[in-house]
Amino acid sequence: MTVSDHQATYREVFAEPVFRALFVARSLAISANSLQIFALSVLVYASTGSPLMSALAFGAGFLPQFAGGLLLGSLTDRLPARPLIVAGYLAEAGLAATLGLADLPVLVNLLLVAVVAAVTPVFAGAAAKVIADRLTGDAYVLGRSLTGMSSSAAQLLGLAGGGVAVAALGAEEALLFAAACHILATLMVRIGLPNEPAAAPAGRGGAVRDSWTGATALLGDRIIRRLLIVQWLPSAFAAGAEALLVAYGARRGFPTGAGALLMAASPVGMLVGNFAIGRLVRPALRERLSAPLVVLLGAPLVLLFADLPLPVTVTLLVLAGTGFAYSIGIQREFLEAAPEARRGQLFALLSTGLMALQGVGPLIVGAIAEVTSPATAIALAGIATVLIAPIVHFRRHPVPR
């Protein structure tokens, strides 16, 4: 593969109106989701007094995405993108409004969250496919970097806004505010995206069967499978480590409230890393830096096994967060490996694995912490991340597409 060293600019990326609309709508929706998750966790804990139920409320939207991505992923290529994305944001708005207005049993609320989560990979994959169709070359790679930066910033804003909204308005009213944000995102997509027909070929059978066939074919491709794994597993290990930071801070005897500082460190690092690698580093060098950046993502976590002061710990977590920029150097190869007829489904599969494994990662790393310690479990997650680095750019022959 020949790597063009033409470096795109933010102005070039934002000059595409469809990207602008999706970027703003997606950022708003992610903030609303973070607010919704926080408010629902508070609501569930207030009604049940159970830390377990509160944790389930926090994670109920992760694992169901696995089933939805596998069984419904082909819809991203079979249906027009605009109505699909609009329907997804409307479903999110309806969920948040129902959680805020209806006095339903906790298990029913969690079931509703799971149902909506199951279709999330479909409209997330459709949005990613639209961006891939509209941006080319390094503009696409930089666009993916921008979406990663906006995700981190939107999550921070949503969590911070969630705390303020729940404190000032109450959990129910905060959920209604999240619903309003989703409706606004829906309007942005409805106005900002053209209503183009889907380009999927006919005759592929029912949606579920076609989704399963497509998923098995994609996962059966050695190159695609590697590119998915190197994007899935480091995120899963990092999510597992982050889930233990509150317990880690308590075990280390850090001041009350340090847990929030520790959890905010990695998103800050993600913002810095995505900007630095995406905008300041030339395309060919980005791809060569992917494996070292995976090492950077994991190695600082290993150092947390030592008894370090709080400022050093926060610095290491920020440094680890910058390692998430490794994915920027993979995006060109990932897009070139995507079959044209299954491009949307591949993006849905990527989203499916990311979200599902970020739900599984905390369970596995948390279980290790139960029998060892949070510091040991975090260090092991860091070692596992470093071990992914050798396969980031390993291939026996060029991508044949």
Residue 169 lies in a domain: yes
Q: Tens digit of pLDDT for each residue in 37-81?
A: 778 877 877 777 765 566 566 667 777 887 778 788 888 888 888
Q: Tens digit of pLDDT for each residue in 300-352?
A: 999 999 989 999 999 999 999 999 999 988 988 888 888 888 888 888 888 88
Residue 31 lies in a domain: yes
Examine the pLDDT at 400 and tell me if it is beyond 50: no
Q: Tens digit of pLDDT for each residue in 135-188?
A: 888 888 888 888 877 877 777 777 667 667 777 778 888 899 999 999 999 999
Q: Which domain covers residue 284, as residue numbers?
A: 10-391
Q: What percent of the chain has pLDDT over 70?
A: 90
Residue 5 lies in a domain: no
Residue 2 lies in a domain: no
Residue 188 has what pLDDT?
94
| Mean pLDDT of the 93-102 span | 92
| Mean pLDDT of the 237-258 span | 83
Residue 166 lies in a domain: yes
| Mean pLDDT of the 96-122 span | 88
Residue 228 lies in a domain: yes
Mean pLDDT of the chain: 84
Residue 262 has what pLDDT?
84
Q: How confident is the model at residue 398 (pLDDT cuts 50, 70, 90)?
A: very low
Query: Whole-model pTM above 0.85?
Result: no
Residue 396 lies in a domain: no
Count up the domains in the chain and report the number: 1
Question: Residue 294's domain is classified under what CATH number?
Answer: 1.20.1250.20
Residue 267 has what pLDDT?
83
Question: What distance in Å separates the CA atoms of residue 123 and residue 377, rounded to the nearest whole number?
Answer: 34
Chain-centroid distance, C-alpha 264: 16
- List, in order, residues 6 or more apart from 129 with CB less than 8 Å away: 76, 77, 81, 343, 344, 347
- List, in order, residues 6 or more apart from 2 with CB less than 8 Å away: none
Residue 218 lies in a domain: yes
